[in-house]
Amino acid sequence: MDSLLIKGGVPLHGDVHISGAKNAVLPLMAATLLTEEECIIHRVPDLSDVKFMGQILQSLGAEVKFDGGTVTIRAAKIKPHGDYELIRKMRGSICIMGPLLSRMRKATVSLPGGCVIGARPIDLHLKGFEALGTKVVINGGYIHATARKLRGNELFLGGRSGPTVLGTANVMMAASLADGVTIIESAACEPEVIDLANFLNAMGAKVVGAGSPTITITGVKALHGAEHEVIPDRIEAATFAIAAAATNGDVTIHGARADHMNAVLDKLREAGVKVERKGPALRVRRNGALKPVDITTLPYSGFPTDVQAQMMLLMCLIPGISIITERIFESRFMHVSELARLGADISIEGPSAIVKGGKPLSGAPVMASDLRASAALVLAGMTAKGTTEVNRIYHLDRGYEKIDSKLRKLGARIERVKES
């Protein structure tokens, strides 16, 4: 499998353009199953997860055509079960269940996989489906769901670590063609949920309250085709902002939605990073010496768990002690041991990582354990002395569109080494 060779010590300078949000586009693609008519989605990132979703939709019978950053999907005739091997590889594939139930009143989906970052149970998804009148049976690695009729209901989707984003999306889609009104309490408030609601409404759905803890969906008889543009990826934008700060660079990030990144930008400014709005872009650069900050990951609009690893790397470079507490996933510190290979001083105490920053990092071979850990290791390599080899970067290709190419354009010395 491919790896990245990175020679550190080069500040990043220049302009970078943010791709469409990976966490938004997968539910959007799934939502096209709700109608027989053609749907067109723009600003679709070129990611392995997106290609997987396209293959999953094709296995269900949909016609899928990629053309640059646009995907056209027509699900005129579909079946209620997809390819087991495809679906089990990607956690995001669970979001096909809501549309299949809504349109066909039955769905058979394999239990999904994805990054190994701790338990991400689908019990809240199933709880939501059952509240709408679905019978759910799990057997042989498959989820079998059937419903004579979906009926609107009031349901609570809060979990141990807060609301479920994909669960909220799944129930929204299932409820869009249900009889009556569905009210989701403790709904996820992420921008990706709002993006999906906007797409559903463009298709003729009646979704109100997306972006708040209470979402109301009034079922309609049928949905039609629609055209939509995916929101920018706030996690990619945050990663490049941290890369600029970590390398003592000066980067203008085009397409970033600052209103989607308030918690991250607040912590960067607290650390002493200069962040300026330049129209629809953000300029990020050092503003003298930086200082450590404490961070706790929380559901949106709190600090995102998907930026925790990257921010930990930045704290490793700043003299002093910072405490990073993970409240969303219990096993999301797997990057700590790999950062330690580069010379980072980090200790784990329960849900918190204590970072003693300021020690210089030196290049070494490291292994990526998940998507965001991969990004943190790439950033670490760009700040370390010598050469860093990041292995298992297929994780990186799941969520960052051509990140090595974008970094090279900013001056990074980074090379992709193909599997021989």
pLDDT at 112: 66
Query: What integer pLDDT is reported at residue 179 of this predicted model?
Result: 97
Closest CA to 4 of 410, 409, 405: 405
Helix (H) or strand (E) holding 195: helix 191-202
Do 216 and 241 lie in one domain? The reply is: no
Q: How confident is the model at residue 113 (pLDDT cuts 50, 70, 90)?
A: low
Active site residues: 115
Pair type for strands 320-325 and 295-296: parallel
Find the farthest-apart pair of alpha carbons in the chain and give their distance in angstroms, rounded.
64
377 contacts 339 by C-beta, under 8 angstroms: yes
177 in the same domain as 97: yes
Residues 213 and 83 in one domain: yes
CB 309 within 8 A of CB 372: yes
What is the residue whose two structure tokens read 């670490």? 380
Tell whether 238 and 225 lie within a shared domain: no
Reference 223, options 355, 99, 375, 109; nearest CA is 99
pTM above threshold 0.85 = yes
Q: Which has more pLDDT, 201 or 2?
A: 201
How many domains does the chain contain in total? 2
Query: Could you give the CA distance from residue 414 to residue 174 in angstroms, rounded to a whole number?
Result: 44
Segments in 220-361 forming alpha helices (H): 234-246, 262-271, 308-316, 335-341
Per-residue pLDDT of 8-48, as tens digits, reads 999 999 999 999 999 999 999 999 999 999 999 999 999 99
Claim to verify: residue 122 and residue 160 sit in the same structural domain: yes
Q: φ and ψ at 36, to 5 degrees?
A: -80, -15
Q: Which of 194, 229, 264 is the last residue of a domain?
A: 229
Question: Which of 195, 229, 263 is the last residue in one of the domains?
Answer: 229
Place of tokens 């990020």: 284
Asked if 148 and 279 sit in the same domain, the reply is: no
pLDDT digits (tens, 9 = 90+) for 123-136: 899 999 999 999 99
Pairwise CA distance, residues 146 & 137, whole Å: 9
> Could you tell me which of 348, 301, 291 has the C-alpha nearest to residue 325?
348
Return the minimum-mean-pLDDT range out of 74-88, 113-127, 175-189, 333-347.
113-127
Domain boundary among 214, 229, 244: 229
334 pLDDT band, cuts 50/70/90, is confident
CATH at 145: 3.65.10.10
CA nearest to 239, candidates 285, 302, 306, 287: 306
Residue range(s) defining the domain that contains residue 374: 3-17+232-417
pLDDT of residue 246: 98
pLDDT > 90 in the chain, percent: 83
- Whole-angstrom Cα distance, residue 106 to residue 148? 9
Single-letter residue type at 343? G
Please report the pLDDT score of residue 117 as a whole number: 34
Asked whether the predicted pLDDT for residue 376 surpasses 50, the reply is yes
DSSP states of 88-122:
HT-GGGGGGHHHHHHHHSEEEEEPP----SS----
Beta bridge partners of 286: 273
Does one domain contain both 217 and 252? no
The pLDDT tens digits for 74-112 are 999 999 987 777 777 777 788 999 999 999 999 988 876
The helix/strand/coil state of 39 is: strand
User: What is d(CA 20, CA 337) in angstroms, rounded to the nearest whole number?
Assistant: 31
Indicate whether 117 and 50 sit together in one domain.
yes
CB under 8 A, 24+ apart: contacts of 195-199? 195/21, 195/24, 195/28, 195/230, 195/231, 196/24, 196/27, 196/28, 196/31, 196/169, 196/172, 197/172, 198/228, 199/28, 199/31, 199/41, 199/226, 199/228
Q: Please tell me whether residues 337 and 413 are part of one structural domain.
A: yes
| One domain, residues 13 and 102 | no
- Quick one: pLDDT band at residue 197, thresholds 50, 70, 90? very high
**Backbone phi, psi, residue 305, to 5°:** -60, -30
